Chain A
Amino acid sequence: MSDEIRLIEVKEGILADNDAMAKKIRDDLRKEKTFLLNLMASPGAGKTSLVIQTIRRLKEKLRIGVMEADIDSMVDAEKVAKEGVDAIQIRTGGFCHMDATMVKSGLNAMDTKRLDLIILENVGNLVCPAEFETGAIKNAMILSVPEGDDKPLKYPLMFSVCHALVINKTDFLALSDFDVEKCRQRVLKINPDIQIFEISCKTGEGVEQWVQWLKEEVESL
């Protein structure tokens, strides 16, 4: 065999397999009329708090399941299960995000046909979860006030893939130089169609609008 260097044409993207699996999940869930929400945020932004607030307001109206993804713990699933809904914990074992295959194995462990809404609480991270489609019908993210209004500039991909943005911890606004209007402008520049909710999981302010949006999305599936 010659030692000459050959150029081999590949022309293949790496996200193709994941995108195909995500599409399959989405198609299957649509058939079952089960809505999957992929909730993303930084660690500490209030993902679990928002999940709990959402469950409390919707559990009489919708059958809800929760898939908690964490690098290595069970604490979130235990907290959520106390709210009286089906909760499973996925330990990603060091992985910084959920991909479609992991979501599929999680869904296999749940009685999806019986559920109207499944909330996937993704790993706390604004980078990697944005790159991997999960098969969710809609993506939502939380940005909490203490994180700062410049995050849309730093993580544009995350803001571009979400259908809804929840600005949480508005009870901190008085103590912070977070400029809600500036933040809105920055987000809308990247994603003009995104729905923005200003809430405080602690005081309950604004949570109702978020819940209403989610309920309408679930019902229109």
Chain B
Amino acid sequence: MTQPHPLYIVASPRPRVGKTLVARLLIEFFHASDRPLIGYDLNPREPTLAGRFPHLVWPVDITETLGQMELFDRLIVDNTRTQIVDLGYAPFEQFFGVLDEIGFIPEARRRFIEPIVLFVTDPAPATISTYAALRRRLPGATFVPVHNESVSLVFEKEDFPATRSECSVIHIPRLSPIVRGVIDRPSFSFSAYMTAQPGGPTEVHQWIARIFTAFRDLELRLLMGRLTSSYGGPAPAQQYRDVR
């Protein structure tokens, strides 16, 4: 069975909820295990992720058609690497509008690319309704909510139902302000820190380990879901219909 390559889209309609942090953690998680990957930074005014990983992440402005071609024409042909999109809140609507209009998701699935939307949540009613609308609009994508405890301590599971029950939510634990200052340094690398201090008992170590474990768990659950489908279990498409 050919395993699809994941395309992670880290998204939220709101600013400053930790999208770039989640994208950064994902990149370091995959990079640490030497897996081929490429990232796209869709924050044209402030391409922080591209600045941090200049050899792995490309800044793209999708305001114009040329930028859309630069992004989507690459995403659709690249089924050999894990792809990560850090979707800024400004191009949020346009990104999903184009994605839907050009029929990206069904074609991506046909080409063994699995779109996974890591939706960074917050308790605003507009965000909750946007999440629901997006799921209805893109039934072929896998939605996994991400709860960043630095944004809100409360997470209502019913507000952000995952596409698959086994991939319910990824929690990003809250960090103390001092430690937060450390990880925000341009030179700080999560994977390098873990390598330099394996098993260390620091707050950062536990924080990274918990998130990397959640990513690994998500990968495993997605794989199990695909295997279940291929062996006659409920197909993902059926599951999408069930939740709609």
Partners in one complex: no
